[in-house]
Chain A
Amino acid sequence: MNGIVWIVIAVAVVGLYVWYAAIVKRKNRVAEALSGIDVQLSQRHELIPNILAIAKRYLAHEQTLLADIARLRTTGQERLGSADPKAIAEKFTAENQLTAGLGRLFAVAEGYPELKSDALMVRAQATYQEVETNVAAARRFYNASVTALRNACQIFPGQLVAALAGVGHLPPFFEAPAEHRGPVNAADHL
Chain B
Amino acid sequence: MSERPARPGAATALFGALALGAVVAVAIAWSSIHKTPGLEGWLTGIFAGLFLGLMVAGAGAWAVMLLAPRPARRAAEQEPATYQPDDELGRVLAELEVARLDTQRRINAGAVWRIPLCILGAVLLWLATQFGDDPADVGDLLMFMGAGAFGGYFWAASALSQAYRRLYKERVLPRLAAGFGALAWRPAQPPLEEFRRHRLFPDWDACEAEDEIFGDYRGMPLSIIELKLTKGSGKNERTVFHGLAAAVSLPRGLRGTTVVVPDRGMFGNLAERLRGGPCQPVRLEDPAFEKAYEVYGSDQVSARALLTPAFMERFLAFAGAGHFGAPAALVQDNRLLMALGNMGGSDLFEPPSYRKPAAGREALTRLHEDIASVLKAADAVIDLDQAARLQPRA
A residues bordering B, Cβ < 8 Å? 32-33, 36, 40, 129-130, 133-134, 136-138, 140-141, 144, 148, 189
Find chain A residues with CB under 8 A from B198 CB: none
Distance between A1 CB and nearest chain B CB, rounded to angstroms = 38
Tell me, yes or no, whether B125 is within 8 Å of chain A by CB. Answer: no
- B386-A141 in contact (CB<8A): no
**Closest residue to B306 on the A side, CB-wise?**
A137
Measured CA separation A33–B300 after assembly (Å): 9
Known A-B contacts A130-B252, A144-B283, A189-B310; A137 and B304 likewise in contact (beta carbons under 8 Å): yes
- With a cutoff of 8 Å between Cβ atoms, the chain B residues found around residue A32 in the complex are 300
Residue among B283, B300, B303, B308 making CB contact with A133, cutoff 8 Å:
B308
B60 to chain A, nearest CB (A): 67
- Is B128 on the interface with A (CB-CB < 8 A)? no
Q: Is the CB of A133 within 8 A of B301?
A: no
A179 to B308: give the CA distance in the assembly, Å: 18
Q: Assess whether B305 is interfacial by the CB under 8 Å rule.
A: yes
A-B contact pairs, 14 of them (CB 8 A): A33-B300, A36-B301, A40-B301, A130-B387, A133-B305, A134-B302, A134-B305, A136-B308, A137-B302, A138-B301, A141-B304, A144-B283, A144-B285, A148-B283
Contact A130 B253 (CB under 8 A): yes
Give the distance in Å from the alpha carbon of A137 to the alpha carbon of B386 in the complex. 14
Scoring B252, B300, B301, B310 by chain A CB atoms within 10 A of each residue's CB, the highest score goes to B301
Measured in the bound complex, the distance between the Cα atoms of B283 and A130 in whole Å is 22
Q: How far is the CA of A117 from the CA of B173 in the complex (A)?
A: 41
Q: Quick check: B253 and A134 within 8 Å, CB to CB?
A: yes
Which B residues are within 8 Å of any A CB, using their own CB? 252-253, 283, 285, 300-305, 308, 310, 386-387
B305 to chain A: closest residue by CB: A137
Contact check, A189 vs B386: say whether CB atoms are below 8 A apart.
yes
Chain B contacts for A137, CB-based, 8 A: 301-305, 308
Q: How far is the CB of A41 from chain B (nearest CB, A)?
A: 12
> Please, how many angstroms separate the alpha-carbon atoms of A134 and B285 in the complex?
16
Q: Which residues from A are CB-within-8-Å of B301?
A: 36, 40, 134, 137-138, 141
**A9, B301: Cα distance in complex, Å:** 41
CB distance from A123 to the nearest CB of B (A): 12
B300 touches A36 (CB 8 A): yes
Contacts of B252 in A (CB 8 A): 130
Least CB distance, A62 to chain B, in whole angstroms: 27
Q: Which residues of A contact B387 (CB under 8 A)?
A: 129-130, 133
CB-defined contacts of A140 to chain B, threshold 8 Å: 285, 304
For B252, give the chain A residue with the smallest CB separation.
A130
A-B complex: 9 closest residue pairs judged by Cβ atoms = A137-B304, A137-B305, A138-B301, A141-B300, A36-B301, A137-B301, A140-B304, A134-B305, A130-B253
* Interfacial chain A residues near B300, Cβ < 8 Å: 32-33, 36, 141
Tell me the nearest residue of chain B to A29, going by C-beta. B300
With A and B bound together, what is the CA distance between A189 and B285 in angstroms?
Answer: 19
What is the CB-to-nearest-CB distance from A100 to chain B, in angstroms, rounded to a whole number?
A: 21
| B283, B305, B310 — most chain A CB neighbours (10 Å) | B305
* Residues of chain B lying within 8 A (CB to CB) of residue A134: 253, 301-302, 305
Tell me, in angstroms, the Cα distance from A134 to B386 when the chains sit together.
Answer: 13
Residue among B300, B308, B386, B387 facing the most chain A CB atoms (10 A cut-off): B300
Please indicate the chain A residues that have their CB under 8 angstroms from the CB of B302 in the complex: 134, 137
**Complex Cα gap A137–B254 (Å):** 11
User: Which A residues are CB-close (under 8 A) to B308?
Assistant: 133, 136-137
Question: In the complex, which residues of chain B have a beta carbon less than 8 angstroms from the beta carbon of A33?
Answer: 300
Which residues of the other chain, A, contact B304 by a CB distance below 8 angstroms?
Answer: 136-138, 140-141
Min C-beta distance of B255 to chain A, whole Å = 10
- The chain A residue sitting closest to B314, CB to CB, is A189
A-B contact sample (5 more), CB < 8 A, given A32-B300, A136-B308, A144-B285 = A36-B300, A129-B387, A133-B387, A134-B253, A189-B386
With CB as the reference atom, state the residue of chain B lying closest to A140: B304
A129: chain B residues within 8 A (beta carbon): 387
Give, as a whole number of angstroms, the nearest-CB distance from A13 to chain B.
26
Q: Residues of A contacting B310 with CB < 8 Å?
A: 189
Report the minimum CB–CB distance from B112 to chain A (whole Å). Answer: 64
Q: In whole angstroms, how far apart are the Cα atoms of A137 and B303 in the complex?
A: 8
How far, in angstroms, from A136 to B306 measured CA to CA in the complex?
11
Closest Cβ–Cβ distance, residue A104 to chain B (whole Å)? 23
What B residues does A136 contact at CB under 8 A?
304-305, 308
A144 CB contacts on chain B under 8 angstroms: 283, 285
Q: With A and B bound together, what is the CA distance between A40 and B283 in angstroms?
A: 20
The residue of chain B having its C-beta at the shortest distance from the C-beta of A37 within the complex is B301
Shortest CB-to-CB span from A65 to chain B, Å, is 27
Cα–Cα, bound, A33→B303 (Å): 13
Taking CB atoms, residues of chain B closer than 8 Å to A138 are: 301, 304
Interface core residue of A130, A141, A189 (most chain B CB under 10 Å): A141
A189 to B314, CA, bound (A): 10
Query: Once bound together, how far apart are the Cα atoms of A50 and B357, in whole Å?
Result: 63
Chain B residue nearest in CB terms to A138: B301
Which of A36, A136, A137, A148 has the most C-beta atoms of chain B within 10 angstroms of its own C-beta?
A: A137
Which of A36, A134, A140 has its CB near the most chain B CB atoms (within 10 A)?
Answer: A140
- Expressed in whole angstroms, the Cα–Cα distance for A137 and B253 within the complex equals 13
Q: Considering the chains assembled together, what is the distance between the CA atoms of A148 and B300 in angstroms?
A: 15
Contacts of A130 in B (CB 8 A): 252-253, 387
